Structure 1
Amino acid sequence: MTLDFPVADLPTPDAKPASTAALMPDAQTVTAVRHWTDRLFSFRVTRPASLRFRSGEFVMIGLPDERGKPILRAYSIASPSWDEELEFYSIKVPDGPLTSRLQHIQPGDQIILRPKPVGTLVLDALLPGKRLWFLATGTGIAPFASLMRDPETFERYDQVIMMHTCREAAELEYGRDLVAGLHGDELLTEMFGADFDKRLVYYPTTTRETTERMGRITDNLSSGKVFADLGLPPMNPAEDRAMVCGSLAFNIDVKAVLEGFGLREGANSDPKEFVVEKAFVGDGI
């Protein structure tokens, strides 16, 4: 996402609602908006006919400021590469230059979308393996929402584990809703069998509100709790692959844990056992 989007969304005075200017460059039309909490929302927009991307990549989106100058941020595409529309998942920053406006968009409004996707959270950046771990905090789940909805992910891996951590239980609802929908998807069940719910595992935890499962991803990995809970062996470089998306501090900490299991960081040009989204520079607060 960055990818706990938006990126570097610093306070600015006199924030105004989203613009609906009709002649913005690279304009796309909002088709749906859903507010999950007072801090989180998702939205869908039309897809440029020329846009081709790999599930897990991000693009620059934004709105014009009062002078018409684009305010752009990196947002992971949360929809899969086959979808006819594009979905995004965002935090709300009341005084942020972009999200102070973006959080007010409604169907029919327009946003700017630069159709040049990039990113490291793609399947081709990993060596073949047995299990794929998605490790995310907050809106860092967005690129994995794309990958979880892409059948190619399950063609390449026997099992996908989505570890998602937020402060409060309500902030996990986007992920819960997504995974529940995938578990009930008739096409995926037909393609991958009646036990598809065992092939896609959702492991949500909170760090502030008391819930059934708590703790940071790094702690649950290092202590072995997640492996015990799921009946899996500890990560090993022969079978396990991982993708990481969250705050800069989170990415650094998780990288150290994964390297402790013997996994090596890869890239598009040099596939290894795990990849980290490097576009992230801040959480916009």
Structure 2
Amino acid sequence: MPFDAIDENTTLPKSVTAETVLDVKHWTDRLFSFSITRPGSFRFRSGEFIMIGLMVDGKPLLRAYSVASPSWDEKLDFYSIKVEDGPLTSRLQHIKPGDKILLGKKPTGTLVVDALLPGKRLYMLSTGTGIAPFASLIRDPEVYEKFDQVILTHTCREVAELEYGKQLVKDVMDDPLIGEMAQEKLVHYTSATREDYPVKGRITELVESGKLFEDLGVPKFDPEIDRIMICGSTDMLKSCKQMSLDHGFHEGSNAAPSQFVIEKAFAD
């Protein structure tokens, strides 16, 4: 599906800037990641999301996307699904380096460490492209300064869909800035739901059965010391939120930090 080229003659809304695509990688036939230039004035907290999009038929078409790069990075990374009839992703999947896309100016979101009370162990529960905000957070030194252990779980339907996260964690472990902290504190726990894999099942099932804790060698959820961040599909958010509440956790926000937070922004 076509989208409009953006050049110096394009009239843009004041709420966006036009940024250049730096690179694109297609991980599967359903998943891709890309990087764009970052305006010098653009500030955000690791874990936040922003509106991005394209010009279509002379009008901006925007959706909320978590920034997958940390707040200190010079470029902005994103991780996206491809939806055949999705208004934006059906077009966005065809971008190439050098193309221009739209970037909003006001990042926001609750998947930030500021929305959580101090704790010892941080769980990042993700499905699919819901790993994107955690791709930002696990590259931020502040996360390791505030928690003794950071557990990133990633559940996908197919094994190939876990590759983005695996490569991400490998790069983090080798990173000269945070590699040493990550090697000491970061744990990556993956599962698949539709294919044979060493760990099979939804994250809620793995928590309720106790398998998650047995595999990691850690105690079961404790609201006094554990903190939880959740990002994924609508159904996953709903079930993981209820699971957190059932275990005695209270939901936090930027205005009132507490024991768990969820993200509510999605691409189409």
TM, length-normalised to structure 1: 0.89
Amino acid at match of 2:7: A
Q: CA RMSD in A?
A: 1.2
Which residue number corresponds to residue 241 of structure 1? 227
Gap regions ≥5 residues in structure 2: none
Which residue number corresponds to residue 52 of structure 2? 61
- Mapped to 2, the partners of 1:201 and 1:39 lie a distance apart of 26
Which residue number corresponds to residue 94 of structure 1? 84
Other structure's SS at 2:73 match:
coil
Which residue number corresponds to residue 218 of structure 2? 232
Which residue number corresponds to residue 197 of structure 2? 211
Deviation of residue 248 (structure 1)?
Answer: 1.5
Amino acid at match of 1:119: G
Q: Runs of 4 or more off by more than 3 Å in structure 1? A: none
1:165 to 155, 158, 167: 155
Other structure's SS at 2:85 match:
coil
- Alpha-carbon displacement from aligned partner over 1:64-119 (angstroms, at most 9, x marks no partner): 112x1111000000000000000000001122221111111111000001111010
Number of aligned residues: 262
Aligned runs of 1:118-133 on 2, under 5 Å?
Answer: 118-133=108-123
Deviation of residue 258 (structure 1)?
Answer: 1.1
Does the 8 Å contact 1:19/1:110 carry over to 2? Answer: no
- Mapped to 1, the partners of 2:31 and 2:158 lie a distance apart of 12
The reply to whether residue 21 of structure 1 matches residue 6 of structure 2 is: yes
Deviation of residue 188 (structure 1)?
Answer: 2.1
Does the 8 Å contact 2:139/2:178 carry over to 1? Answer: no
- Mapped to 2, the partners of 1:210 and 1:218 lie a distance apart of 18
- Mapped to 1, the partners of 2:77 and 2:240 lie a distance apart of 27
- Mapped to 2, the partners of 1:125 and 1:214 lie a distance apart of 31
The reply to whether residue 182 of structure 1 matches residue 167 of structure 2 is: no
- Mapped to 1, the partners of 2:261 and 2:244 lie a distance apart of 10
The reply to whether residue 85 of structure 1 matches residue 70 of structure 2 is: no
User: Percent same amino acid among aligned pairs?
Assistant: 59
